[in-house]
Chains A and B, each alone.
Chain A
Amino acid sequence: MTVKYTKEHEWVRVEGDVATVGITPHAAEQLGDVVFVELPDVGAAFERDADMAVVESVKAASDVYAPVSGEIVEANGAIVEDPAQVNADPAGGAWFVKMKLSNAGELGELMDEDAYKKLLESL
């Protein structure tokens, strides 16, 4: 099971035809303390790069984009209830949504861990 990354600092973990999506520890750190999370409804469909979710800190709101195209099959209500989890465990328990992939070919265009690490070093 591999984890892929976007240049917008989202991570995607694929099992079968379902992708779990979250934001990276780098993104969580840049946001600061997350105080509000808005997630899409189960059943909603998104094209890649569409605004899918919102995370807000005390001072700013940021969009989370769909890293791949697909339909939402599960949303992580725990981070809506307790947004601080996004800072505490961004790469694990604080995943955002699970999506049923509609175009698995898009996965090949995402970065692997080495490429993402290089991106972070270049920032």
Chain B
Amino acid sequence: MPIEDEALKRTPLYEAHQAAGAKFGPFAGYDMPIQYPDGVMREHLHTRAAAGLFDVSHMGQAFLRARGSRLGTPEAHEAVARALETLAPGEFLKLKRGGLRYSALLNDEGGILDDFIATRAPEEDRDGEFFLVVNAACKDQDFALIRGKIGGATELDVLNDRGLLALQGPEAAAIIDDLFPGAATQGFMTMRRAQWKGVDVLVSRCGYTGEDGFEVSLPADAACAFAETLLARDAVKWIGLGARDSLRLEAGLCLYGHDLDETTSPVEGAIDFAIGKRRRREGGFPGFERIARELADGPRRRRVGIAPEGRAPVREGAEVIDADGRAVGRVTSGCFGPSAERPVAMGYVDAAHAETGTPLQVVVRGKALPASVAETPFVPQRYYRG
């Protein structure tokens, strides 16, 4: 009999997924919808053609606020931003109000503990507050780390009673704009606060599919009604974690625990953009010595896109060898790309084999299959650029 601690948690939308005919599977301690009756292929293609609705309520949400200085003052913003900058290499100090920033929590060796998004509160009178969204599998450790390391300067308000829904795809903007007028022209990677049927929601233009889209954070008890409102539109369908994975992989986006982990630095992981320009000079984040060295001299290995030449998908864990059969790396994510209409993958290869176009081989079921280093994304990104 499972003991309470091992029981899978459920998001506020669990029953809605059941009603939609979802197949469930465990993910990060949650019983999550992996796919619906349409299946991964159709769900994936629907997202790129219309609008896919994703329940990502398993992710960790929290407000981080300055402690000891009054909210709505420049001092409060500086205090919380500088505290965050001691944990992650992002530029948080100069982040504009309402701006989202992708970054990574680092260990002392510059390895990635988690990747996350921090958003500066949109309103001047909330200067000193950031909204954090972190990975489900890491959230307990992340929040403990934040409290442990910067709990003196900041106060972490973990939001266990909120849902998070993502609407992604070319029709997302028009649908979100109907509910929150102005959303259609909201900047990419910005957040604003809005009201939906009297509840406070946070509407961010971002996502994990390579498509234009939004993530809406709202109270857990409003999540089902909000999802129903979206699903009432013909263009909107539930999309499970299966298609979420193939969509993000085609878009060249990393999945923590697979493409990034405690041994990989942001430079090796090719998420250098998560390191602010000023931060590269000034440092002041964990593992700066290694990261500065890798930025200057190049990393020992690097995450790259891998395009198999044939039709056979290559999967996580497959060995990557060079033309002469020498081991040069490993696949960290791989699937058949429904929109790319070919297998797509990413993985780590040593620096000498990281140049786009470098011929490689990937070992699948004992056979070396031809592949090459590929630019990512594998399909064009369609983010809103104003």
Interface residues of A (CB under 8 A from B): 32-33, 35-36, 38, 54, 56-59, 61
Which residues does chain B contribute within 8 Å of A58, judged by CB atoms?
40-41, 44, 242-243, 246, 335-336, 338
| Secondary structure dominating the interface of A | strand
Q: Do residues B39 and A36 form an inter-chain contact, with CB atoms below 8 A?
A: no
With contacts A32-B35, A35-B336, A36-B336 taken as known, whether A56 is within 8 angstroms of B313 at the C-beta atoms is yes
Partner of B40, one of A38, A54, A57, A61: A57
Q: Is the CB of B41 within 8 A of A54?
A: no
In the complex, per-residue mask of B38-75: 1 if CB is within 8 Å of any chain A CB, else 0: 01111010000000000000000000000000000000
Query: B303 interface residue, CB < 8 Å from A?
Result: no
A80's closest neighbor in chain B, by CB? B311
For residue A35, which residues in chain B have a CB less than 8 angstroms away from its CB?
41, 311, 313, 336, 338
B40–A59 CB distance below 8 A: yes
Known A-B contacts A33-B41, A36-B311, A59-B40; A54 and B246 likewise in contact (beta carbons under 8 Å): no
User: Could you tell me the distance in whole angstroms from the C-beta of A54 to the nearest C-beta in chain B?
Assistant: 7
A-side contacts of B246, CB under 8 Å = 58-59
Contacts of B41 on A, CB cut-off 8 Å? 32-33, 35, 57-58
13 A-B pairs whose Cβ atoms sit less than 8 Å apart in the complex: A32-B39, A32-B40, A35-B336, A36-B313, A36-B343, A38-B365, A54-B365, A56-B336, A58-B40, A58-B338, A59-B40, A59-B246, A59-B335
Sample of 10 more A-B contacts, CB < 8 Å, known A32-B40, A58-B338: A33-B40, A35-B311, A36-B336, A38-B312, A54-B365, A56-B336, A57-B40, A58-B44, A59-B246, A59-B335
Verify if B315 is at the interface (C-beta below 8 Å from A).
yes
- Give Cα A33 to B243, complex, Å: 12
Chain B stretch 240-264: residues in CB contact (< 8 A) with chain A? 242-243, 245-246
Q: How far is the CA of A57 from the CA of B313 in the complex (A)?
A: 9
A7 to B244, CA, bound (A): 32
Q: How many residues of B contact A (CB 8 A)?
A: 19
| A59 engages B312 (CB within 8 Å) | no
* A32 and B40 alpha carbons, distance in the complex (Å): 7
Bound: A54/B313 CA distance, A: 11
Q: How far is the CB of B336 from chain A (nearest CB, A)?
A: 4
**Inter-subunit contact A56/B312 (CB<8 Å):** yes
> What chain A residues lie within 8 Å of B39 (beta carbons)?
32-33
Chain A residues with CB below 8 A from B335, complex form: 58-59
Q: Are A59 and B311 in contact (CB under 8 A)?
A: no
Contacts of A59 in B (CB 8 A): 40, 242, 245-246, 335
Which residues of the other chain, B, contact A32 by a CB distance below 8 angstroms?
A: 35, 39-41
Please name the residue on chain A nearest to B39 by beta carbon.
Answer: A32
List residues of B (351-365) whose CB comes within 8 Å of A's CBs. 365
A35 to B313, CA, bound (A): 9
Within 8 A of A (CB), among B11-55: 35, 39-42, 44
Alpha-carbon gap, A57 to B39, bound state (A): 10
Nearest Cβ distance between residue B314 and chain A, in whole angstroms? Answer: 10
| Top 7 closest pairs, chain A to chain B, by CB | A33-B41, A35-B336, A58-B40, A32-B39, A58-B336, A59-B242, A58-B246
Q: How far is the CA of A56 from the CA of B364 in the complex (A)?
A: 13
Bound Cα distance from A38 to B42, whole angstroms: 23
| Chain B 321-342 near chain A by CB (<8 Å), digits 1 or 0 | 0000000000000011010000
Query: Bound complex: CA of A72 vs CA of B132, how far in Å?
Result: 58
